[in-house]
């Protein structure tokens, strides 16, 4: 029987990961301090007898160690983080505490209590700006924010610990994740969650620039499934993989889907391009396919339709 601890279980990706693990019969131990996660995301999980939950700050020394000691775990999925790139630039010390110190505590807890597998939420932000057509894992890592730097450092901390002390580490470099439960509150929230909220409210959206910029948008359901595979599939070895679709979608295409669903909402307006914006970001998904048998299956149009029709 697998028992998996998820840090950040009440978050966007964490709660979907918990739901999928529970659906596949796994016992799930959730941890969150509700800094950015929310109780309502756990509604489904909490109805399941195989789910237990602790309200703790995993960046507080000793907190995670006690939990890992108490629960006999087969894996830890470490998703708790300071998730806003902008916030990491405003408060680099907080970024370090939540995105580097916390990772060290995860690595140490795994070592001290013999947890055989750690899955880590890394990010395409480790690559920074790049002019390659499609980013693979060998693309140079040149982070351009404290957030991206911390994600890259965390990969190193975990992989080093795993190699030294004999546990498996899977670093998952998520691209632009979207879907239900993503928080639209900040102007730096993912664009799809902002568009979804504004269309629901009957307000038009602003497209920064001409809208021809493209992203590799991946459904949270696919990302959660990649986490489930990384945490539970037998025979995996340590490694790093992009978690992306390998397909690009322009912002104009995204806006067009919303416009079709909301014919009465005013058309998008165009504003100045956002400072520092990347024009094209696209991942290559081949390593995840080869090493984990993972392939994204949700088409962006279908994921958007599901989001629009949800809750």
Token duo for residue 30? 């959730």
What is d(CA 118, CA 310) in angstroms, rounded to the nearest whole number?
A: 32
Residue 149 C-beta: closest distance to ligand UD2, Å: 11
Centre a 10 Å sphere on the Cβ of residue 182 and count the other Cβ atoms it contains.
20
Task: Give yes or no: 127 in active site.
Answer: no
Using CB under 6 A as the criterion, what x/- string covers residues 274-303 for binding ligand UD2? x--xx--x----------------------
Residue 284 C-beta: closest distance to ligand UD2, Å: 15
Distances (CA, A) of 58 to 61, 87, 209: 8, 19, 39
Terminal-residue alpha carbon distance, the chain? 33
Residue labelled with tokens 């057509």: 133
What is d(CA 137, CA 241) in angstroms, rounded to the nearest whole number?
A: 7
What is d(CA 276, CA 266) in angstroms, rounded to the nearest whole number?
A: 27
- Based on the shown chain and the rule CB under 6 A, indicate whether residue 194 belongs to the binding site for ligand UD2: yes
Please give the residues from 157 up to 186 whose contact with ligand UD2 meets the rule CB under 6 A: 176
Residue 69 C-beta: closest distance to ligand UD2, Å: 34
Burial (Cβ within 10 Å: 0-12, 13-18, ≥19) of residue 184: middle
- Based on the shown chain and the rule CB under 6 A, indicate whether residue 304 belongs to the binding site for ligand UD2: no
Contact with ligand UD2 (CB under 6 A): which of 48, 188, 305, 306?
188
Residue 139 C-beta: closest distance to ligand UD2, Å: 13
Using CB under 6 A as the criterion, what x/- string covers residues 77-116 for binding ligand UD2? --------x-------------------------------
Token duo for residue 143? 């982070």
Find the catalytic residue in 127, 147, 174, 199. Answer: 147
The catalytic site residues sit at 147
Where does this chain bind ligand UD2 (CB under 6 A)?
85, 124-125, 176, 188-191, 194, 205-208, 213, 215, 251, 274, 277-278, 281
């Amino acid at each position: 029987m697998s028992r998996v601890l998820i840090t950040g279980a009440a978050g966007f990706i964490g709660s979907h990961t918990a739901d999928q693990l529970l659906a596949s019969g796994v016992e799930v131990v959730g941890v969150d301090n509700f800094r950015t996660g929310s109780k309502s995301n756990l509604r489904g999980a909490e109805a399941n007898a195989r789910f237990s939950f602790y309200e703790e700050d995993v960046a507080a020394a000793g907190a995670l160690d006690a939990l890992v000691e108490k629960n006999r775990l087969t894996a830890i999925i470490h998703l708790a983080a300071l998730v806003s790139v902008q916030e990491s630039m405003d408060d680099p010390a907080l970024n370090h505490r939540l995105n580097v110190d916390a990772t060290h505590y995860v690595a140490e807890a795994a070592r001290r209590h013999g947890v055989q597998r750690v899955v880590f939420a890394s990010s395409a932000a480790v690559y920074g700006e790049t002019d390659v057509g499609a980013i693979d894992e060998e693309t140079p890592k040149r982070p351009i924010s404290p957030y991206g730097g911390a994600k890259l450092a965390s990969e190193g901390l975990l992989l080093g610990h795993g190699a030294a002390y004999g546990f498996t580490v899977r670093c998952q470099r998520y691209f632009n994740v979207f879907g239900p439960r993503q928080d639209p509150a900040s102007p730096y929230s993912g664009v799809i969650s902002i568009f979804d909220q504004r269309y629901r409210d009957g307000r038009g959206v602003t497209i920064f620039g001409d809208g021809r910029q493209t992203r590799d948008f991946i459904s949270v359901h696919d990302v959660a499934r990649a986490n489930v595979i990384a945490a539970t599939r037998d025979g995996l070895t340590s490694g790093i993989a992009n978690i992306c679709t390998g397909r690009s979608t322009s912002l104009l295409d995204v806006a067009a889907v919303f416009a079709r669903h909301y014919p009465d909402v005013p058309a998008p307006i165009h504003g100045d391009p956002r400072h520092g914006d990347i024009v094209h970001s696209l991942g290559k998904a081949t390593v995840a396919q080869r090493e984990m048998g993972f392939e994204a299956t949700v088409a962006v149009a279908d994921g958007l339709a599901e989001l629009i029709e949800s809750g």
